[in-house]
């Protein structure tokens, strides 16, 4: 992959690239536009691998200023397109729209913003070159305007490295670049944006440095007068100077001349820059182009290499190259990302697998130890009965014997018999008891039935005897909730009183029934 | 026409990168599946080994527990077994002994009836726990003519002593014979009272020891 910087000017195309033998970027060829065969011959050896950067430097590059109504930023694209279409229709090969900081109010009170349209009209030579580059499917990465490239280099590199204040950069000044002994680039910069650019070629008759510089001052004066006349600046307004001379050591001299001959006495230069900036040290040794090209070009090429500024002019083909490049980077990024992610997943899986294998080995070790213990355990003698069942049987037996204690019955019959023996009118003939709850319950539900007598036609006495019996029964500590469920006489008035004496086995007795809960043990 | 002569720019920019992307994807997918097979295999091996280990461990625990429990309960078990205290009763013994007690206490009439044996349910008890599923229960329904209420106590005392205390009285009904209420007296042929009882006998069937 080779980088080719094509510096296109009025007469010739200069091809700058790395020389085959060294790493130095040098001028390979300089082909006049008329030598079309020669040019085609060179173009034919290009391939898609070769990256082309085109720098155009034509005198007729125009910078035009327009005022448009102030609009929102999302509406700006359509305005830009309108101006680009317009210049293209008027015959421009390239055009570029730049929004400026300047705003104004019209007489009607409408806010307006300035924009600048840079355009280069169709040159047969350039059109041919672009077509040839597209035909050969070269990678035309960017198209720069020499003047704007210099402007960007000044603001992004020179001004930044010399730490020039923003306020000074926004003031109107002349950016003067000495490109060779007799040629200068004169640029008027206002509000941080290039306004006018001019190539200044002094007559070769001037020999001494003094002659050259005084001629330069005259040209400066003319240029400033032009700005006043054109109403670009208010007459006699302050204009600064920033002098950049890559290869000549004349900075102080130029500044003195400017202060002496150009600057008016009335000027307040406190916020206006008057500087000469050495930039020789900014360039590394590996770009050296020789005398054919402007002196700043090596710095600009290095600037492109290091900063990759956005293409100033755009053509459909260049845009396509750009898009392909973006796609390629996206694909590469996707591959790297997927590769990294994929390897992480695969590595994790591999680690998991090896950990599992280690785990299996550890388990098998434990298994072997366990097997040894098992063999040792099997050597003991064991009873015929499952020991857990032994335990259950023993515990059940213990629980039952403890629950039962010494008593054979879960009801205290003698306690009931004692109460009965103290009541001569009461005789029992029926006792029924059952567990109150589960089989292991300490309580039984008891129902006793019997007779009260003698009954001689009067209910008062038997009822009293049963009540006395019940009262004493209730006093027994083991007896709870004793109730008379069947009275010798139903004293509840809502039930009919009926006594059928023939049913009674005891001729002179009345039946009754009591239920209660008894603590058996 | 001219364009066809020269290589396409898009080929130069995209071909290699698309191939690279596809290669990355393919390598990843293939690698993933190959590794996955290995991982699955390793996982199965680990699981099998773990299962075998768990099984061995359970056996060791089982045997150790057998030894420990045998040491703790074996002598008592033997002692209870000798004292007939264990819930190991059989119907023949119950029948024989009850008939002897019937003779001694002159219980006339006397019937007994065993209901079918069934697995003991834990919910028949309020508190008592059945630790192992080895317990069975049988209901025994007794009917006996007895001379006095003191015979009820004697009857159950003898059952406890001579047969087994491993039962519970579920329900009893003691009723005097109507004619005898006024003039209760001791007679060998005729009972003064009638006793009906339902007993629940408990029965344990310990499982034999086996090395699992």
> What single string gives the DSSP state of each residue in chain B?
-HHHHSPPHHIIIIIHHHHHHHHHHHHHHHHHHHHHHHHHHHHHHHHHHHHHHHHHHHHHHHHHHHHHHHHHHHHHHHHHHHTT-SS---HHHHHHHHHHHHHHHT-SSEEEEEPPPEEPPGGG-SS----STTEEEEEEEEEEEESSTHHHHHHHHHIIIII-S-EEEEEEEEEE-GGGSSS----SSS-SEEEEEEEEEEEE-PPBP---
- Tell me what pLDDT residue A7 has: 94
Which residues of chain A neighbour B148 with C-beta distances below 8 Å?
A: none
CA distance B101 to chain A (A): 15
Indicate the DSSP class of residue A344: H
pLDDT at A176 over 60: yes
Q: How far apart are CA A493 and CA A473, in angstroms?
A: 26
What is the C-alpha end-to-end distance of chain B, expressed in Å?
89
Q: How far apart are alpha carbons B160 and B168 in whole angstroms?
A: 11
Q: What are phi and psi of A316, to 5 degrees?
A: -55, -40
Which residues are within 8 A (CB) of B2 and not within 5 positions of it... i.e. 6 or more apart? A135
Region of poorest pLDDT, from A231-245, A477-491, B44-58: A477-491
CB contact under 8 Å between A393 and B28, yes or no, is no
pLDDT score of B131: 80
Q: What is the mean pLDDT of residues A141-167?
A: 92
Q: What residues does A178 pair with on adjacent strands?
A: A184
Q: Which of A386, A432, A505 sits opposite B181 (nearest CB)?
A: A505
Q: What share of chain A is helix, strand, coil (3-state, %, to 5)?
A: 40, 25, 30
Could you say which DSSP state residue A261 is in?
I
A19: left (phi over 0), alpha (psi -120 to 50) or beta: beta
Q: Do A397 and B128 touch (CB under 8 A)?
A: no
Are the C-beta atoms of residues A41 and A49 closer than 8 Å to each other? no
Residue B18 has pLDDT above 80, yes or no: yes
In terms of CA atoms, which chain B residue is nearest residue A327?
B14
pLDDT at B33 over 50: yes
pLDDT of residue A497: 38
Cα separation, A485 vs A463, in Å, equals: 13
SS3 call for A446 = strand
Least CA distance to A360: which residue of chain B? B46
Q: Is the Cβ–Cβ distance between A295 and A123 less than 8 Å?
A: no
- Nearest Cα neighbor of A70 from A44, A100, A103 is A103
The predicted model scores a pTM of: 0.60
Average pLDDT over residues A229-236: 88
Please tell me whether residue A271 adopts helix, strand or coil conformation: coil
Nearest CA in chain B to A377: B63
**Confidence band (pLDDT; 50, 70, 90) for B89?**
low
Distance CA A97, CA A81 (A): 9
Q: Determine, for residues A331 and B17 on separate chains, whether the beta-carbon distance falls below 8 Å.
A: yes
Contacts of B11 in chain A (CB under 8 A): 48
Mean pLDDT of A305-318: 91
Looking at A10-14, A140-144, A150-154, B79-83, which range is the least confident one?
A: B79-83
List the single range of A74-78, A442-446, B148-152 with lowest mean pLDDT.
B148-152
Reply yes or no on whether the pLDDT at A2 is more than 60.
yes
Q: Tell me what the pLDDT averaged over chain A comes to.
A: 87
Task: Of B139, B125, B134, give the one whose Cα is nearest residue B86.
Answer: B134
């Amino acid at each position: 992959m080779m980088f080719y910087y094509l510096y296109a000017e009025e007469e010739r195309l200069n091809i700058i690239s790395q020389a085959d033998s060294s790493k130095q970027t040098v001028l390979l060829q300089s082909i006049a536009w008329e030598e079309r065969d020669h040019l085609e011959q060179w173009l034919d050896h290009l391939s898609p691998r070769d990256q082309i950067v085109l720098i155009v430097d034509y005198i007729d590059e125009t910078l035009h200023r327009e005022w448009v109504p102030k609009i929102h930023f999302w509406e700006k694209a359509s305005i830009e397109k309108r101006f680009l279409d317009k210049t293209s229709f008027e015959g421009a090969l390239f055009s570029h729209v730049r929004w400026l900081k300047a705003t104004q109010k019209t007489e009607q009170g409408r806010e307006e913003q300035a924009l600048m349209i840079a355009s280069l009209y169709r040159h047969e030579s350039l059109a041919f070159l672009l077509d040839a580059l597209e035909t050969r499917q070269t990678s035309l990465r960017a198209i720069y305007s020499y003047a704007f490239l210099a402007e960007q280099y000044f603001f992004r590199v020179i001004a930044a490295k010399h730490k020039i204040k923003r306020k000074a950069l926004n003031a109107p000044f002349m950016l003067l670049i000495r490109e060779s002994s007799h040629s200068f680039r004169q640029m008027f910069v206002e509000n941080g944006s290039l306004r006018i650019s001019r190539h200044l070629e002094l007559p070769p008759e001037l020999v001494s440095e003094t002659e050259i510089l005084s001629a330069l001052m005259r040209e400066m004066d003319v240029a400033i007068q032009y700005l006043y006349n054109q109403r670009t600046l208010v007459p006699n307004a302050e204009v600064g100077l920033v002098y950049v001379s890559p290869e000549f050591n004349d900075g102080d001299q130029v500044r003195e001349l400017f202060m002496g001959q150009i600057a008016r006495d009335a000027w307040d230069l406190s916020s206006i820059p008057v500087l000469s900036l050495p930039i020789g040290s900014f360039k590394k040794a590996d770009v050296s182009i020789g005398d054919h090209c402007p002196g700043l070009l090596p710095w600009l090429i290095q600037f492109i290499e290091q900063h990759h500024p956005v293409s100033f002019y755009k053509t459909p083909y260049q845009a396509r190259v750009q898009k392909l490049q973006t796609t390629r980077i996206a694909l590469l990024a996707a591959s790297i990302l997927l590769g990294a992610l994929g390897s992480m997943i695969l590595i994790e899986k591999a680690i998991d697998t090896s950990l599992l294998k280690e785990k299996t080995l550890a388990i098998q070790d434990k298994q072997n130890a366990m097997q040894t213990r098992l063999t040792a355990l099997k050597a003991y003698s064991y009873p015929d009965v499952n020991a857990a069942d032994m335990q259950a049987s023993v515990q059940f037996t213990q629980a039952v014997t403890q629950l039962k204690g010494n008593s054979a019955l879960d009801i205290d019959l003698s306690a009931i018999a004692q109460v009965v023996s103290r009541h001569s009118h009461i005789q029992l003939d029926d006792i029924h008891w059952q567990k109150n709850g589960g089989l292991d319950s300490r309580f039984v539900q008891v129902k006793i039935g019997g007779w009260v007598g003698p009954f001689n036609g009067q209910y008062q006495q038997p009822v009293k005897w049963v009540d006395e019996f019940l009262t004493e029964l209730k006093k027994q500590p083991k007896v709870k909730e004793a109730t008379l469920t069947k009275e010798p006489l139903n004293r509840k008035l809502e039930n009919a009183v009926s006594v059928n004496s023939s049913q009674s086995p005891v001729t002179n007795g009345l039946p009754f029934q009591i239920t209660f809960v008894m603590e058996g043990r | 026409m001219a364009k066809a002569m020269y290589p396409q720019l898009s080929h130069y920019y995209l071909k290699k990168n698309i191939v690279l992307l596809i290669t990355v994807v393919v390598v990843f997918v293939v690698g993933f599946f190959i590794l996955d097979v290995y991982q699955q295999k390793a996982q199965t091996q680990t699981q099998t080994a773990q299962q075998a280990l768990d099984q061995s461990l359970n056996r060791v625990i089982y045997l150790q527990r057998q030894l420990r429990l045998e040491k703790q309960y074996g002598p008592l078990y033997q002692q209870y077994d000798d004292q007939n205290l264990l819930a190991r009763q059989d119907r023949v013994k119950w029948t024989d002994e009850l008939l002897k007690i019937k003779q001694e206490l002159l219980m006339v009439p006397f019937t007994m009836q065993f209901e079918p044996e069934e697995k003991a349910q834990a919910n028949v008890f309020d508190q008592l726990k059945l630790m192992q599923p080895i317990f069975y229960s049988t209901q025994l329904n007794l009917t006996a003519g007895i001379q006095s209420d003191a015979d009820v106590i004697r009857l159950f005392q003898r059952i406890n002593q001579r047969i087994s205390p491993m039962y519970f009285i579920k329900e009893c009904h003691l009723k005097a014979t109507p004619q005898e209420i006024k003039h209760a007296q001791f007679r060998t042929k005729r009972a003064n009272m009638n006793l009906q009882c339902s007993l629940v006998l408990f029965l344990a069937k310990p499982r034999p020891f086996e090395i699992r």
